[in-house]
Structure 1
């Protein structure tokens, strides 16, 4: 059943039961719209941006607009509304909203920014409804509203009288909406900050159709698409004579640089795909990993650079230094590898199109498809399904556009499903990057200069020039180079910082060692300099940075000897949040084994402790797995790792114990889905050095010579 149908059914049910309060609130402002009693005639006329509905039975329905990718947003948004509403969470029903560009703002999942963006407007929406319900109860009792309060779906008078929200819904809907409402003190939160089960947990565990891969429509056809097997090839010709004779096959068509096989079932399409004979021809250079190695050397040694930031005179500082430390780090391309491969449904109807599927950026998909089909954006409807992972891959819209274009060609509803091999070889990878660092220290062990040159393949600016240690050193030079490769790339969980953090934090440990200082103390000293006499612009807050470092050190027992245990430290600021980590390793059978990771996190107010910790655990496991094993190589433009038999993922028995702690500072929420990943590689690499004496400069670590190889 579609979300729109669910909404209509809810309105009809509410109307049949005698009406109720439906409160809309604008995502473009924090003001709530005038509430309306839902009746049969008005049901289809109510137009809200986002809303909560209260039925006479007391059920509160909250529609969540942002795509759910496993980060828990479908639960977190309603928690915020329900907290200010003082709703009984047991009576809250959550529904996923479809794409609606007129009613929703920032209806996307990416950049760990959803909660930060919507925090205040969600709170005001809930608080406005609460104020209306209290006023309705006060008028019914003939008492001042100031004598009434709300708790768990009830309005309570100071005398002890109580009345349920459901019994107040109609009366509350007739009251004028207050222009201003009082929000709760954060210290009085009871739902926010607690452990709340995900609203989809039961449906996931019982196998309900929630994900795009589950999506079905009556009469829907299935399709798979054969794309060029190497980056730099284009379609020359194809012969589908034999494929068209096979059971269930409806059509085989080409569009753009692809060939689509269309049939009645996905299995029949998979079999026929093998029978299609395709000839490709070279369009661009077919790059191999050896070519990329050469390109990196040319960029790092060349003069074609962009200066991203320059403070002081690094050359003079290096010339007069007591010691100069240099290191170079490199990482490969990486696929996103979500457990649910790309898929999308499309039904082109001539002057409109219906879409459904997993997308992190549904509005971008809508606009691109409207432009491609030459129809108005409002003629493109898009129903959002839950996503089985994405990690940035579903920020791109190629697979949705592909389904829409195919439907327009075959004039039928169709669902395009990618195989695992399609998903691994179809592009939009994490860019391959290489970093060259150089730092100088004086006789007292103070860092006097810091230089970074980032070189990337389709990475753009591969640096974060205003991040730490910028601001903490007088002489600083940050520069970048980039090469445009035919290999398609895009955002990958914590873009750029996912590798930059490892390289920077591993290098700072090496500088601290050269300075004869403890790695934690070395960073704290740099932060003291940035706080007392900052040099130029900085994007981070020194106090928050310092607090996560101290918390991680405290919880891990940093500096206290643990028999047979070596510790590695790392800290990073990204997506407006701060995460410090300590990795603990031991030796077993001559190999270093990661046993535990301590994480200290400052993401402001935690909405749902359960989901928050799961995000941290997942990010750390992801960070360990890709730092240790992730590697995508190329030969003549073709990816060499096509499935998980060749692309190594972290295994269950390799996951360490993880302990997460939050800094409780009452600051408004900041990002969380991505910030715990960047520090992980650095903590791991630094722990490996402490355990084995070997510095690691390249990822994946397991491919390096030495105790891990």
Structure 2
């Protein structure tokens, strides 16, 4: 075995290479056996100079970039540092990325949701990198006694081309850190980007592939206890609890009733899972029980009743429908859905007097802090939040209920506690995508022009079920959009691309119905409406007409729309989270069954920071939209979902994912959202393609459970 010595420089190199994780250092010659020491980030970065909240540089030239927003698979932990490194002209091989903890003084909007992280931080990140570069170049100019403008930067070095001299950022950090940062700095012209726009691997890849602790479920603290919780069915309260059998299970140390829930506490999760099943709890309804059956009745009353909120009204809708040559009417419905992230909910909490330490996966660390502080009756500043990598979220981790559970148990037990949800807990006690139904009506004149449009959305705990200012609003002279809500004990939450994830499917399917009655090509029908919105807008236009036209035309071009009669195609386009995505689904009939062969997607999200991450987001959004439109469904009985795990809650399988062809509009504008916009158009594109192939409309999700399709098997072919 070869011997070697190690020093701080070696450790910093290890840190930069590994991209985070656990660093263990030792010297072979210091004693007979190696002494191992775990190095914290503080020790690794002890010699680094902080230039701003986003980055530090060590004297060895290693660049440490902090990513403030929670990472749940949207690639923000890679793309944020890329933006900083681009303006800094850093050597990416020397960049180390660290997940920042909650820090409201140095960072803004430490939230992952609404596809808003990059649009919000784009310029801030660029300025952080550009400011540090300005200071480094200024320090070099002072050292060499040359002008600032005579120097250039590349790969972590300042270069004086006239003399051929070069100096690394590491050699300049001490002098540069003493200079005063300017209030304004010059940013690069996008045409000069070298790192942005190139494919970069996820900075956590190595740690994930080698099993290093990254996720909340990985977190462990010496002396902590584990807890799992039996939560009541929706609308129920505890009548009695018999925990005798559960207490006798080895590894269980305590059982505590907290409100309407029962927590089992112990040394590890396995005995707790067994103890939960051994609990004998009787419940009684808080109010009248709700079932799937009376949800149907509720929806009928909401869609046909007189009670609704008017979200937008243009022109004279009543007159338009009275004068219509033809009227098209349809209803679409979508069920409750589970978020089903790969990593179930979990969180660590340690309450110590008037302070609390929180560690775990959250999309909203500030909300976690504030709700913990409110429960404990302490100042929010006394609560620290360390953010782990999230094993998925899709909106579920916007809430803080699982955080509050850990905090409450830690306070009661007076010790550190980690609460872990099982998959069944996640599916039966979570917060779901709300169930929604839509009623559409369109009025056509004798030439097939849409002169009137009505939409009423009805939702269970859905809030506003519409996006009243989205297309086709502004393109129709007479328009009425309404929303009505029913309050239920079933908890709901934002689910990837909130509201638009099901509204887009319904809306785009209905527009195809209208186009067919009007005897117009579906793509041309939409383009004509957009042209009307541009030349003769009705009310305010809240979407970019040219950007929407751009993705429509690109998707039609790349999919060879309408040019191969053997392929039946379906079209869909949607604007959400500041971005535009158009999709074409290709279906062929094989043995009298529709087979989904391919989806072509055209996306306008502005500048693509990292093509690798962008492709993952678009393809992932399409797969997510496809799978849930085809299979996802939650039905309730006595306040509890019938589907409690993946044996009964159907998700899309890898072998069912068809070919996905991704294209981007290159317009050079600042980046817009990308984590969610590719999902909404998918269901509509598939439904329209299947109608083109079979002549049958898919007006409810999941598609495989639609009664009209009982004799058909919709297949998806993996390429």
Per the normalisation by structure 1, the TM-score is: 0.94
Which ranges of structure 2 fall in alignment gaps of 5 or more residues?
A: 1-20, 24-37, 715-719
Match of 2:11 in 1: none
Match of 1:585 in 2: 587
Deviations 1:287-322 (A, max 9, x none): 111110000000111001111111111121111111
Deviations 1:515-545 (A, max 9, x none): 1111000000000011111101221010101
Maintained 8 Å contact 1:439/1:447: yes
Match of 2:225 in 1: 221
Partner SS for 1:274: helix
Maintained 8 Å contact 1:2/1:383: no
Name which of 85, 88, 91 aligns with 1:88: 91
Maintained 8 Å contact 1:21/1:172: no
Partner SS for 1:119: helix
Partner SS for 1:481: strand
Count of aligned pairs between the two proteins: 676
C-alpha displacement at 1:708, in angstroms? 3.8
Match of 1:146 in 2: 149
Q: Which moved more, 1:78-87 or 1:283-292?
A: 283-292
Match of 1:356 in 2: 359
Residues in 1 aligned to 2:462 and 2:82: alpha-carbon distance in whole angstroms: 37
Name which of 179, 182, 187 aligns with 2:183: 179
Match of 1:458 in 2: 461
Partner SS for 1:391: coil
Residues in 1 aligned to 2:69 and 2:412: alpha-carbon distance in whole angstroms: 31
Match of 2:45 in 1: 11
Alignment of 1:357-396 (within 5 A): 357-396=360-399
Residues in 2 aligned to 1:350 and 1:133: alpha-carbon distance in whole angstroms: 45
Maintained 8 Å contact 2:231/2:260: yes
1:188 aligns with 2:207: no
Maintained 8 Å contact 1:441/1:448: yes
C-alpha displacement at 1:270, in angstroms? 1.4
C-alpha displacement at 1:236, in angstroms? 2.3
Match of 1:417 in 2: 420
Match of 1:162 in 2: 166
Alignment of 1:90-129 (within 5 A): 90-129=93-132
Maintained 8 Å contact 1:427/1:487: no
Maintained 8 Å contact 2:45/2:58: no
Partner SS for 1:568: strand
Residues in 1 aligned to 2:54 and 2:688: alpha-carbon distance in whole angstroms: 49
Residues in 1 aligned to 2:303 and 2:54: alpha-carbon distance in whole angstroms: 53
Which ranges of structure 1 fall in alignment gaps of 5 or more residues?
A: 15-19, 25-49
Maintained 8 Å contact 1:606/1:612: yes
Residues in 1 aligned to 2:106 and 2:492: alpha-carbon distance in whole angstroms: 32
Match of 1:518 in 2: 521
Deviations 1:258-293 (A, max 9, x none): 000000111111122222222212212221111100
C-alpha displacement at 1:2, in angstroms? 9.7
Name which of 421, 430, 434 aligns with 2:433: 430
Name which of 189, 206, 212 aligns with 1:208: 212
Residues in 1 aligned to 2:680 and 2:540: alpha-carbon distance in whole angstroms: 22
C-alpha displacement at 1:410, in angstroms? 1.1
Partner SS for 2:497: coil
Deviations 1:29-50 (A, max 9, x none): xxxxxxxxxxxxxxxxxxxxx2
Name which of 330, 343, 346 aligns with 1:343: 346
Match of 2:28 in 1: none
Name which of 657, 665, 669 aligns with 2:659: 657
Residues in 2 aligned to 1:155 and 1:102: alpha-carbon distance in whole angstroms: 31
Maintained 8 Å contact 1:284/1:486: no
Match of 2:596 in 1: 594
1:625 aligns with 2:653: no
Match of 2:66 in 1: 63
Match of 1:22 in 2: 50
Per the normalisation by structure 2, the TM-score is: 0.92
Maintained 8 Å contact 1:701/1:708: no
Residues in 2 aligned to 1:90 and 1:584: alpha-carbon distance in whole angstroms: 42
C-alpha displacement at 1:57, in angstroms? 1.1
Change (3 A) 1:395 1:5: farther
Residues in 2 aligned to 1:415 and 1:97: alpha-carbon distance in whole angstroms: 21
Partner SS for 2:434: coil
Alignment of 1:257-656 (within 5 A): 257-561=260-564, 564-656=566-658
Residues in 2 aligned to 1:469 and 1:680: alpha-carbon distance in whole angstroms: 18
Partner SS for 2:381: helix
Question: Aligned Cα RMSD in Å?
Answer: 1.4
Deviations 1:474-515 (A, max 9, x none): 000001111001111010000000000000000001101111
Deviations 1:184-218 (A, max 9, x none): 00111111111000100111111111011111111
Match of 1:35 in 2: none
Residues in 2 aligned to 1:285 and 1:6: alpha-carbon distance in whole angstroms: 55
